[in-house]
C-alpha cells in the first residue's frame, strides 16, 4: 500500500496549524508540532520496519526479537527523541535550536515531514552502521536508526560500567541523529534509490560536508562549552576537525574523511 505523506497546509496565517490538523486526521502518530524560537516546528512520522515482516534478502538479521527492540526503544530512546528533542525540550539550547532549524529547512524545501524509521535489521553494508538517511522516491526525507546496532552500543557501554550510562547513551543517539539531519539539510541522497551504493569519491565528498556541519554545530558546543565527552569515533572526527583548523575546505580534512571511509568501498 502506498504511503501518504503530509504536505504543508493552506492556512496562510498559521500554516503549521493547518499541517498539524491534516496530519492528525491521517491517523499517523505525530511527534513534536510546536513553535520554537519563532520557527514553524513540524511533526515527525515514526515508522517501524519489524524484522518479522521485512524483506531480509538485502539485510542482516538481528539477534534481538521485534518485541525486545520495541521495548528497548521505549525504555532508552523514546524520551530523548520524542519527549525532548522533538518536543523542543532538549536541555542543551544549541542542539535544541539547531534541530528546530534543520527541521524547518527540510519541511520548507521538500514540502514533507521527516520520516523517522526504526529498522530492526543490520545494514547490509556493515553491522557497524548505527543510522542512515536519504529520500524516498517522492522526495520525503528519511532518517533510519538501526536498532540492533543501537542496542549493541548500549550493551557495550553497560559492560564498561559507565558511571553515567544513560547520559552517555543519549549523547550517542543525539549526535547520530543530528549527523543524519545534516546530510538531509545538504540534500545528500536526493534522487538516489534505496540500496544505492555511492563511489568512494561521492561518499567522501558527502561525508566531509556533513561531518563538518556536525562538528561545527553539534560537537563544538557539546565539547567546548559543556565539556561533554563524545562517544567513540565521533571524538575522532571532532579532534581531526580541530586539527584541520575547523576548515571544511582543507585538504587535510578531506583526506582524513576519505581514509576513514576507504575500507567501506
In terms of pLDDT, which residue wins out, 40 or 157? 157
Assign 122 to helix, strand or coil. strand
From 197, 213, 229, the end of a domain falls on: 197
> How do residues 203-213 score in pLDDT, each as one tens digit?
999 999 999 99
Of 139, 170, 197, which residue constitutes the final position of a domain?
A: 197
Same domain, 264 and 250: yes
The last residue of one of the domains, among 178, 197, 216, is 197
Q: How confident is the model at residue 43 (pLDDT cuts 50, 70, 90)?
A: low
Residues 243 and 134 in one domain: no
Kindly report, residue by residue over 66-108, the tens digit of the pLDDT.
Answer: 999 999 999 999 999 999 998 899 999 999 999 999 999 988 9
**Domains of the chain: total:** 2
Q: Is the dihedral of CA 215, 148, 66, 155 positive or negative?
A: negative
- C-alpha 60/C-alpha 83 separation (Å) is 30
Helix (H) or strand (E) holding 45: strand 44-49
Res 56: pLDDT = 64
Instruction: Tell me what pLDDT residue 125 has.
Output: 80
**Is pLDDT above 90 for 258?**
yes
Residues 191 and 65 in one domain: yes
Domain that includes residue 238, residue range: 202-265
55 lies in some domain = yes
Pinpoint the alpha helices (H) of the chain: 15-25, 66-72, 78, 93-110, 147-159, 165-185, 200-214, 220, 232-243, 251-261
Whether 253 and 188 share a structural domain? no
pLDDT of the residue at 246: 97
* Greatest mean pLDDT range, 124-133, 182-191, 241-250: 241-250
Are residues 212 and 246 located together in one domain of the fold?
A: yes
Grid coordinates standing for 184?
538531509
- Supply φ then ψ for residue 191, to 5 degrees: 85, 0
Residue 13 lies in a domain: no
For residues 189 and 256, the model is more confident at: 256
> Which residues, other chains included, contact 101 with Cβ-Cβ below 8 Å and sequence gap of 6+?
39
Q: Is 40 helix (H, G, I), strand (E, B) or coil?
A: strand
| For residue 224, pLDDT beyond 80 | yes
Our measurement of the distance from residue 10's CA atom to the centroid of its chain's CA atoms, rounded to an integer in Å, reads 29
Q: Are residues 171 and 109 in the same domain?
A: yes
| Phi and psi torsions of 190, nearest 5° | -65, 125
Amino acid at each position: 500500500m502506498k504511503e501518504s505523506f503530509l504536505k504543508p497546509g493552506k492556512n496562510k496565517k498559521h500554516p503549521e496549524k493547518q499541517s498539524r490538523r491534516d496530519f492528525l486526521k491521517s491517523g499517523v502518530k505525530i511527534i513534536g508540532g510546536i513553535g520554537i524560537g519563532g520557527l514553524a516546528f513540524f511533526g515527525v512520522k515514526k515508522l517501524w520496519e519489524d524484522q518479522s515482516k521485512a524483506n531480509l534478502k538485502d539485510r542482516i538479521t538481528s539477534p534481538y526479537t521485534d518485541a525486545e527492540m520495541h521495548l528497548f526503544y521505549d525504555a532508552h530512546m523514546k524520551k530523548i527523541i520524542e519527549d525532548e528533542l522533538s518536543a523542543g525540550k532538549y536541555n542543551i539550547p544549541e542542539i535544541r535550536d539547531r534541530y528546530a532549524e534543520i527541521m524547518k529547512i527540510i519541511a520548507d524545501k521538500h514540502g514533507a515531514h521527516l520520516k523517522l524509521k526504526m529498522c530492526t535489521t543490520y545494514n547490509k553494508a556493515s553491522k557497524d552502521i548505527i543510522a542512515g538517511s536519504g529520500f524516498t522516491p517522492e522526495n520525503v526525507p528519511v532518517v533510519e536508526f538501526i536498532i540492533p546496532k543501537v542496542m549493541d552500543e548500549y550493551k557495550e557501554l553497560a559492560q564498561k560500567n559507565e558511571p553515567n550510562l544513560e547520559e552517555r547513551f543519549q549523547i550517542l543517539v543525539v549526535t547520530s541523529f543530528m549527523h543524519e539531519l545534516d546530510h538531509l539539510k545538504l540534500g545528500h541522497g536526493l534522487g538516489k534509490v534505496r540500496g544505492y551504493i555511492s563511489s568512494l569519491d561521492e561518499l567522501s565528498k558527502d561525508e566531509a560536508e556533513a561531518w563538518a556541519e556536525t562538528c561545527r554545530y553539534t560537537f563544538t558546543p557539546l565539547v567546548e562549552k559543556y565539556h561533554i565527552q563524545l562517544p567513540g569515533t565521533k571524538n575522532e572526527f571532532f579532534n581531526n576537525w580541530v586539527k584541520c583548523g575547523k576548515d571544511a575546505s582543507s585538504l587535510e580534512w578531506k583526506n582524513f574523511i576519505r581514509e576513514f571511509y576507504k575500507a567501506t568501498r
